[in-house]
Amino acid sequence: MTAKITFDSDRCKGCELCAAVCPKHIVALDKSRLNRKGYHPASVTDMAACIGCASCAKICPDSVITVEKF
Ligand code: SF4
Ligand code: SF4
């Protein structure tokens, strides 16, 4: 399965819940960027490893993450 994860990065508050639940350990805060709120936003480090489980999207309290499966 191919999945695409997109982040509404400016809404992210850097709580790392998404990183904690990802079974593939491919979600992490991007320390090289700051969003509009002043947080390092979450991002996917290895999109090819994503299994499209959508756990990250479900746990996010701010609905930052969208998972599309193809
Ligand atoms: S959809 Fe699942 S595997 Fe992909 S980044 Fe989110 S939690 Fe990880
Ligand atoms: S769970 Fe949502 S708000 Fe928290 S770090 Fe992940 S994307 Fe950002």
CA torsion 25→48→38→19, rounded to 10°? -20
Query: Which tens digit of pLDDT belongs to each residue from 44-64?
Result: 999 999 999 999 999 999 999
- Tell me what pLDDT residue 56 has: 98
Residue-range domain boundaries for the chain: 3-69
Work out the pLDDT band at 2, boundaries 50, 70, 90.
confident
Q: Which of 66, 67, 69, 70 to mutate to test the pocket of ligand 1 (most atoms within 8 A of CB)?
A: 67
CA dist 18 and 38 (Å) reads 18
Return d(Cα 62, Cα 1) in angstroms, integer: 26
The predicted pLDDT at position 70 comes to 86
Residue 14 to residues 3, 34, 36, 62, 65: CA-CA distances in angstroms?
A: 22, 10, 12, 11, 12
Q: Say if domain 3-69 classifies as CATH 3.30.70.20.
A: yes
Residue 1: predicted pLDDT: 67
The 10s digit of each residue's pLDDT in 8-51 is: 999 999 999 999 999 999 999 999 999 999 999 999 999 999 99
CA of 39 from ligand 1 middle (Å) equals 21
Q: 56 in ligand 1 pocket by Cβ < 6 Å?
A: yes
